[in-house]
Structure 1
Amino acid sequence: MDSFKELQESISNALVSTTRTATRIGAADIPFQRTLNPEVATALDEQNARLLQLAQRLLANAASSSEATAPKLPDVDAIDGNWRGIIDVVDSLLERADTALDEYTGVVKRLAQTGAQPNEPAKKIRMTHLPNTWPKPQLSFEHVPQNNETGGFRPLLTSKPHAKVPFAECFKTFKDDNGREQYPHPYQTEIESYQYPPWMYEKSDPQPYPPFESTTAALVDTPEALAEMLAELKKAKEIAIDLEHHDNRSYIGLVSLMQISTRDRDWIVDTLKPWRRQLQCLNEVFADPNIIKVLHGAYMDIVWLQRDLGLYIVGLFDTFHAARSLGYTGASLAFLLSKFANFQAQKQFQMADWRIRRPLSADLFNYARADTHFLLYIFDNMRNELIDRSDFSNPQLDKVSEVLEKSRETSLKRYEHPVYDTETGLGNGGWYRLITRTPVRYTPQQFAVFRAVHKWRDDVARAEDESPLFVMPNHVVFSIARVLPADKAALFAVTQHMSHILRARADELVAVINRTKDLPNPPDLDETLNKISAMLYQAREERKGAVAKPVLEEAPAVSTLNLTPMFPTPVGPPPRAEESKFWGSLLSGGASTQRSQDVVDITLGIPLPPLTAEVFAETVGSTAAEETPKPEPKFIPKEERPGEDKRTDIFIVKQLGGKRKRGAVDSPATPSRDADLAGNADEVMLEEDPEESRRAAKALKKQQKKEKKRLEALRQAGEEDVEEQEEAKEEEEAPFDYASAPSVMRAHDAERNRNKNEGGKKKKEEKKKSAAYNPYAKLADVPKGLARTQKEKAGRSKTFRS
C-alpha cells in the first residue's frame, strides 16, 4: 500500500509540473513563438513526436488485452482522423475497470448464484454473443433466406383462415409507382372492413395480472407444444404479442423469439427451429376478428411476421399509438411497464444476441417474458383513459377511434424485397440517404469511389448473409472515399476495426478502388444530387398535383386571361448549396448538406395579368404636373431684391402658453412678462383673422387671471418660500458657463488642489456647486434587482410572522 501511495504521489507531482509548464504560454501564442524563434519550433516538434510516441505505446498496451485495436498516430493530424479508435480503447479500459469493480464488490457473484430478480433495477451484466466461427442458425432452416430476390415478395401462406377474399386472389400481382410487380396484402380486405367490437368503447375494471415471481412461461420448441398453445389461444378474448429480432449477422434479419401472453399464461416460442414455417397455423388466432391482438410499436413486427413466418394480424391495438394520443412523456414499453406495473425492465438485454444456444438463461428468459406478461393490464388502463378523454359525438375528439385507425394502418404494412439502385442510391440500404445526411464534399473521383465501395459492401453482405454494417461501418466507407487507398497497407491504415470478411476480401476491395479511380468522366456529387432531388420532387408533385388541374379548367374568367406565372416553376430544390447564405464561403470546405424542401405552391385567389415591363411604365397624361418643365432659377442682384420685414418672428413657446410642470413656481416679476405677452398678442392679432384674435385675447386674459390668483396664494403662504423658489429657478435657467467649468480631463487634479488649499474642509453648499466630474456617477442609476433570498433560521419561519 505504501509503494502504491508513493507511486501515486510521484505521478501526481509529475502531472502538476507538466501542466504548469504547458500553460505558461497560451495556445494562441504558440504559432507566434514558432515564427519568432526557430529553435522553439524545433523543440516543440521534438516534444510532439515524443508525446505521440508515448500515446501510441499507451494505446497499444491498453488495447492488448481487449477487443479494441490501437490506432496509429504518425503525426498530429492523425489524432483527429483516428479519434473514434482512441475513444474505443478508452471505453474498453473503463469497461474492464467496471467489470473488475463488480467482481471485487461481489455483484457478479451474487447474480451468478441467485439470478437477477425481475422486479429489481437493471444491473451491469456482461453479455455473451455468438463468436464469428459459430454456425449461423439460418443455414439449418428448411427454407434458407435468399438475399438476391428482386421481384415482389410472394406471401408465404399455404392457407388463409378467416378469409373474406379467396386464397387464390391473394397472388394476383399489380405494379407499384416504380413499375415493379408486387403482390397484394393477403388480408387487406379483411383489415379494411374490420369493425372493432363494441366493448372496445366501454370502460371496464383492469384485470390484474398473475404475480410475476410465482408464475413462469412455457417454452414452445416442439410441434406438440405449439398445438397445445394454439388450443389455449383460441379460447382467449385478447392476447399480447412481442418479437425479438436479430439483424447484425444477417442481411435481412431474422425473428429469433416470439412472446405470447393471455390473461392467465405466458409462452416463449423459439422461432429459430428448422420447422419455423409451421407457425403459420397461428393465423387461426392472429387473423381471428373476434380476438384483439395487443402489441407495442408494431410497425416493424408486422413486417417481420410476414417475412419470416407468414403471419398476419387482424384486430390490432398498438399501445405505442395510445401513448402518443394520451400525451405521455414517454412512449417506450419500459416507460409503460414502470408507469402501470411498477416494473423496471432490464433493457441491457434489448440488444442481446437472441441466437445464442438454447435453453435461454434465466435473465434472458425473464426479460423476454416481461414484455407481454403485463401488456394486457396496460391495455386495460390505457383503453379506459382513452374513453375518459374522448368525445364520441365529435370525430375530432374521439381518441379511441383515432388509435384504432392508426393501428389498422400499421397492420396493413407490407414487406418488400430490398432492391439496391446503384445510380440513384434510393431505398433503405442505398447510398443517397447516407450521403445527404453527412456533411462531406467529394471530388468526382472520390464520389465515384464512394458509390463503388458502397455497392461492393452491399454485394458482399448479400453473398455472406451478413449485415452491411458488420462487413464495413459507414464511417469506413467515407474514409476510404476520402483517402483513396492504393494498396492493402493503405487500406488497413484507414480501417482500424476490420471484420474477418473485409480482411479476407481486402485484395478485391483494393481492385475495385483502383478500377474506379481510373474511370473517365466520373459523376459530380452536386450534379447527381440535384438530378435525384429533381426526380423526387417531380414524383411528389405528380402525386399531389392531380387535384388542382380540373379547378383551373372550370373557371371561365381565368381561361380568357393570358396568365404568366409570377415565379418560374422550379425543377426541384437543390439538396445542398455551394456556400452558406449566412457565413458565405467561410465553410465551403465542409459545407453541410441542405435537405431538399418542398417549394410552397402559392395560388392566388384572383389571377394577375402578366407582370411585364409595360405594367410598371408611366402612363401618358396621368401626371401632367410632373411633365411640365420647371423654370430654371434666375439670379437677382442684391440691389433689385425687395426689402425684408424688420419685424422679428422669434417667439417663446413658454410665454405663449402651454401646460406647466407640476410644482413649478414663476418669478414674481409677472407684470412685465404679462405686458410682453399682451404686446406679443397684439402683434399676433394684427396679422390674424379678427375672430381668431378675439379668441386669443380672451384666452390670454383668462390665463393672466389664473396667474394672479396663483401668485396671490403663494404670497400668502410665505414670502420667503417664493424668494427661494425664484432664486432656484434663476439658477436653473442661468446659461451654462463653459469658460469657468472645470476640465473633464483634469477633474481629479483640480479636486485634490482645492482640498489642499481649503485644508480638507468644505462647506455643504460649495461641495454641491463645485463637485468634481465623476464619469461613473450614472452607473448607479440603474434598476436594482431583487434582494438576496434570506435563509430560514432555527425556530423561525420567513413565511408566517407573528
Structure 2
Amino acid sequence: MTSPEDSPTHSKIGRRNHPSHQQGNANAPVSPIPPQPIVFLDDSSELDPFFESIRRSTLLAVDTETNGLFAYRSEVCLIQISDAETIWIIDALAFKKKNAVDALVPLFHLFESPRVTKILHGASHDIASLKADFGIVLSGIFDTQAAATFLGRVHTSLAALLLEEFGIALPKTLQKSNWARRPLHAEDLSYLANDVAYLHKLQRRLEKDLRRADLVEESSLEFARICETPPAEPAFSPDDFWKIRGVRQRLSDRQLARLRRFFLLRDSLARHWNRPPFKVLSNSLLISLAEASSLKSLRRHPLFRKPRWKKQFPRFENAFRAAAEDPPPIPPESTRNTLPERRPLPLPYHHRPFEKRKQFEKVLKNWRTAEAKRKGIATSAVLPAGVLEILLLTRPSSRRDLSRIPGFGEGRNRKYGKAILDIVARF
C-alpha cells in the first residue's frame, strides 16, 4: 500500500501553521508519527485496493470525526480505519458532495457484519453518528473504553490508557477541530491516524485482562447494548430554557416569557445558519436580553451594535412583543397531571409498597458495590444500570427468571444468581 507521500491524493494535503511550527511555541506537543502508513481516500476511483485489503480482515480499528461543535446537525466528516498494517482515512464529506456514498457500501457491509470485529473507543458517539448519516447498524464491536471501565480502570480516555499501558503519549491538540474544513493538512492526518493506530494493541491487552477477570461474556453483552445506541439527532424542546441555571430565581414571569421566545428564536437562527445554538447566542446573553425592561432598552443592548445582529433586531422585537401577550410559562414538571404509561412487566414486584422497593434498591446496590470492590472491577460489570432497574421493577424467583432479563447473561447467573435471589427473598 502507498503512504500519504506516495499517494495520488497526497498533493491535496498541505501544511498549516500548526502550533508547534509557530514562533514562540517550539515545544508544543505534536501528534507522534503513526507506526503504519496512511492512505487518504476522497474519490471512488481509489477504493478498490482499500476494499481488497479490508475484506481479508477479521479485526478492524474504526473511528469517526464529526463537526458537532460547529454545526446544528452533526455529520460524519471522516472515517478512520486500520487493519493493523495500514491506516485509511476516508473523507466522508467528499463522498457526500460527489453523491458517491454508494461507493462505500462494501465498507458499510463490513461494519454491519458480526464476522468482522470492529474496535472502537467510546463507540456510542460513532455508532449514533453512522446510524444518523448512513443508516448503518454496527454489530460485532469491541469498545476499548467500555472494556477498561469494566476492568475498573480509573482513567479510561484513549490517551490515558495508551500512556498507562504502553507509555505512548497521544497529544489531543486537535481534539476540538472543525473536521468539516478543507483542505486537511499533514498534522491533521497524523492526529486522525493516531486515533486508530494503537487500538489493535490496546484491544489485545484488554481482551487478555477481560479473560483473566472472567468478564468476557459480560463485556460482550455490554458491547451489544452499545450497538443499540439510537441515531444522533438534534434534540430541542421549547421547555429546555428552564434548564438554564438560575432562571427561576433570577427572572420574573414576564422575563421568563421573553426568555422562552428568545430561546425559540435562537434555535430557529441556529438551524438556519447550521450552527450549534450555544455558538449563536450564549445562555447568559439570552438572559440579559430577557431582562430588557422595554423595547427601547432591548434596542440599546450591546448585541445589536453588531451589524449581523442589527439586521436581526426586527425578529427580536417581534418576539419581545409576542411575549407580552403570553401567559406566564409553567415549569414542565407542573404540567404532569398524569403518570406516564407503564410497560407491562412479567412479574409483580412493582405492585409492592414503595418503601420496600427503596429498601430492596439500597440492599442490592450495597451488595453490588461490595462485590465490585472485592473483585476489583466496576459496579457496572457486576450489574449494569439497565439490568439493575429491571431487577428493581420485577421479582425474579428463580435462575430461569434471571436468565430472561435482557443483558443479564449466563455468566452473571452463575456468579451472582444465588446472591441476588437471596436478596429478593428478603423482600
TM-score normalised according to structure 1 size: 0.38
Q: 1:523 aligns with which of 302, 324, 328?
A: 328
Q: Name the CA shift for 1:488/1:376 in 2 (closer, same or farther; >3 Å).
A: farther
The question of 1:404 aligning with 2:207 is answered no
Q: Identify the residue that residue 380 of structure 1 maps to in structure 2.
A: 204
Q: Is the partner of 1:542 in helix, strand or coil?
A: coil
Q: Name the CA shift for 1:215/1:400 in 2 (closer, same or farther; >3 Å).
A: closer
Uncovered stretches (5+) of structure 2, i.e. residues with no partner: 1-18, 356-391, 393-427
Q: Distance in 2 between matches of 1:239 and 1:459?
A: 40
Q: Distance in 2 between matches of 1:550 and 1:244?
A: 43
Q: Distance in 1 between matches of 2:311 and 2:317?
A: 12
Q: 1:331 aligns with which of 128, 153, 156?
A: 156
The structure with the larger Rg is 1
Q: Name the CA shift for 1:303/1:502 in 2 (closer, same or farther; >3 Å).
A: farther
- 8 Å CA contact retained: 1:256, 1:272: yes
Q: Is the partner of 2:147 in helix, strand or coil?
A: helix
Q: Name the CA shift for 1:371/1:214 in 2 (closer, same or farther; >3 Å).
A: closer
CA shift, 1:458, in A, is 1.0
Q: Distance in 1 between matches of 2:182 and 2:220?
A: 39
- 8 Å CA contact retained: 1:241, 1:295: yes
Q: 2:339 aligns with which of 538, 544, 551?
A: 538
Q: Distance in 2 between matches of 1:384 and 1:286?
A: 24
Q: Name the CA shift for 1:302/1:483 in 2 (closer, same or farther; >3 Å).
A: same
The question of 1:244 aligning with 2:65 is answered yes
Q: Distance in 2 between matches of 1:323 and 1:437?
A: 37
Q: Is the partner of 1:386 in helix, strand or coil?
A: helix
Paired residues for 1:334-413 under 5 Å: 334-358=159-183, 360-390=184-214, 399-413=215-229
Q: Identify the residue that residue 220 of structure 1 maps to in structure 2.
A: 41
Q: Distance in 1 between matches of 2:131 and 2:296?
A: 44
Q: Name the CA shift for 1:416/1:236 in 2 (closer, same or farther; >3 Å).
A: closer
- 8 Å CA contact retained: 1:471, 1:501: no
Paired residues for 1:193-272 under 5 Å: 212=33, 215-272=36-93
Q: How many residues were matched structurally?
A: 332
Q: Identify the residue that residue 188 of structure 1 maps to in structure 2.
A: none
CA shift, 1:253, in A, is 1.2
CA shift, 1:221, in A, is 0.8
Paired residues for 1:496-575 under 5 Å: 502-517=309-324, 519=325, 522-524=327-329, 527-532=330-335, 534=336, 538-539=339-340, 542-543=342-343, 548=348
- 8 Å CA contact retained: 2:82, 2:197: yes
Q: Which amino acid aligns with 2:67?
A: H
Q: Name the CA shift for 1:467/1:234 in 2 (closer, same or farther; >3 Å).
A: same
Q: Identify the residue that residue 704 of structure 1 maps to in structure 2.
A: none
Paired residues for 1:556-635 under 5 Å: none
CA shift, 1:235, in A, is 0.5
Q: Identify the residue that residue 280 of structure 1 maps to in structure 2.
A: 105
Q: Which amino acid aligns with 1:413?
A: T
Paired residues for 1:409-424 under 5 Å: 409-415=225-231, 417-418=233-234, 420-422=236-238
Q: Is the partner of 1:440 in helix, strand or coil?
A: helix
- 8 Å CA contact retained: 1:268, 1:369: yes
Q: Name the CA shift for 1:263/1:438 in 2 (closer, same or farther; >3 Å).
A: farther
Uncovered stretches (5+) of structure 1, i.e. residues with no partner: 1-98, 120-211, 391-398, 553-562, 567-600, 602-802
Q: Name the CA shift for 1:446/1:405 in 2 (closer, same or farther; >3 Å).
A: same
Q: Which amino acid aligns with 2:322?
A: R
Q: Distance in 2 between matches of 1:276 and 1:497?
A: 44
- 8 Å CA contact retained: 1:341, 1:374: no
Q: Identify the residue that residue 478 of structure 1 maps to in structure 2.
A: 287
Paired residues for 1:101-140 under 5 Å: 103=23, 105=24, 107-108=25-26, 118-119=31-32
Q: Is the partner of 1:382 in helix, strand or coil?
A: helix
Cα distance per residue 1:22-79 (max 9 Å; x no partner): xxxxxxxxxxxxxxxxxxxxxxxxxxxxxxxxxxxxxxxxxxxxxxxxxxxxxxxxxx
Q: Distance in 1 between matches of 2:142 and 2:348?
A: 37
CA shift, 1:280, in A, is 3.1
Cα distance per residue 1:130-158 (max 9 Å; x no partner): xxxxxxxxxxxxxxxxxxxxxxxxxxxxx
Q: Identify the residue that residue 466 of structure 1 maps to in structure 2.
A: 275
Q: Distance in 1 between matches of 2:280 and 2:173?
A: 24
Q: Distance in 2 between matches of 1:347 and 1:283?
A: 28
Q: Identify the residue that residue 126 of structure 2 maps to in structure 1.
A: 301
Q: Distance in 1 between matches of 2:164 and 2:311?
A: 50
CA shift, 1:406, in A, is 1.3
Q: Is the partner of 2:249 in helix, strand or coil?
A: coil
- 8 Å CA contact retained: 2:58, 2:116: yes
Q: Name the CA shift for 1:419/1:342 in 2 (closer, same or farther; >3 Å).
A: closer
Q: Identify the residue that residue 358 of structure 2 maps to in structure 1.
A: none
CA shift, 1:388, in A, is 0.8
Moved more, 466-475 or 363-372: 466-475
CA shift, 1:375, in A, is 0.5
- 8 Å CA contact retained: 2:38, 2:89: yes
- 8 Å CA contact retained: 1:259, 1:368: yes
Q: Distance in 2 between matches of 1:417 and 1:118?
A: 31
Q: Identify the residue that residue 625 of structure 1 maps to in structure 2.
A: none
Q: Which amino acid aligns with 1:411?
A: C
- 8 Å CA contact retained: 2:114, 2:139: yes
Q: Distance in 1 between matches of 2:246 and 2:166?
A: 40
Cα distance per residue 1:621-663 (max 9 Å; x no partner): xxxxxxxxxxxxxxxxxxxxxxxxxxxxxxxxxxxxxxxxxxx
Q: Distance in 1 between matches of 2:74 and 2:332?
A: 30
Q: Which amino acid aligns with 1:415?
A: P
Q: Distance in 2 between matches of 1:502 and 1:247?
A: 24
- 8 Å CA contact retained: 2:36, 2:84: no
Q: Identify the residue that residue 312 of structure 1 maps to in structure 2.
A: 137
Relative to total residues, which structure has the larger helix share, 1 or 2? 2
- 8 Å CA contact retained: 1:488, 1:506: no
Q: Is the partner of 1:460 in helix, strand or coil?
A: helix
Q: Which amino acid aligns with 2:125?
A: M
CA shift, 1:482, in A, is 2.7
Q: Distance in 2 between matches of 1:486 and 1:118?
A: 52
Paired residues for 1:619-698 under 5 Å: none
Cα distance per residue 1:664-716 (max 9 Å; x no partner): xxxxxxxxxxxxxxxxxxxxxxxxxxxxxxxxxxxxxxxxxxxxxxxxxxxxx
Q: Distance in 2 between matches of 1:344 and 1:353?
A: 23
Q: Distance in 2 between matches of 1:538 and 1:317?
A: 39
Cα distance per residue 1:467-506 (max 9 Å; x no partner): 212221122112222334524764533x4996x7544312
Q: Name the CA shift for 1:550/1:344 in 2 (closer, same or farther; >3 Å).
A: closer
